[in-house]
Amino acid sequence: MSPGGDVRRDHRHALLELEVLLQHIENRAAAGDRARYDADDDYRWVLHRLWIAVGNEAAAYAGEDKNRVQPWAALYQLRNRLAHDRLPDIDEDLVWRMTRLRPSQLRQRVRELLQ
């Protein structure tokens, strides 16, 4: 269900996009480790951009509730930090933790909502 009821068509599209983006993050996480994340600017940049896209879709799904309902609010807040903070100000520990620990849990939640 969407934050306000049944999964509408636009909400379904956002959930489908979320699932694909989270799969991409899982694939990237499996292809590297923290040492690579710290050393490889391109690898880190791709993960940042994927999390920004996840936050965009979370906001599209949650609509007006994007700042109140979890986990969508946390994803939207991460998106805002990655999109607007200067690179030296980004909490890379948080991004790496999210990359390693959250995608599978979030994908499970998305799959449940799509049923």
- Per-block mean pLDDT, blocks of 10 residues, the chain (115 long): 57 96 97 97 97 97 94 96 95 96 96 94
Instruction: Name the one residue in this structure whose structure tokens are 């306000």.
Output: 4
Give pLDDT, residue 7: 59
Instruction: Name the one residue in this structure whose structure tokens are 């998106």.
Output: 79
Residue 43 lies inside a defined structural domain of this protein: yes
pTM: predicted TM-score of the whole model, two decimal places: 0.90
| Domain boundaries, position 69 | 9-114
What total of structural domains would you count in the chain?
1
DSSP letter (8 states) at residue 105: H
Quick check: bond before 103 cis, omega within 30? no
Residue 1 lies inside a defined structural domain of this protein: no
Residue 40 lies inside a defined structural domain of this protein: yes
Instruction: Name the one residue in this structure whose structure tokens are 């694939």.
Output: 27
Residue 3 lies inside a defined structural domain of this protein: no
Crossing angle (nearest 10°) for helices 92-101 and 9-30 = 100
Give pLDDT, residue 97: 96
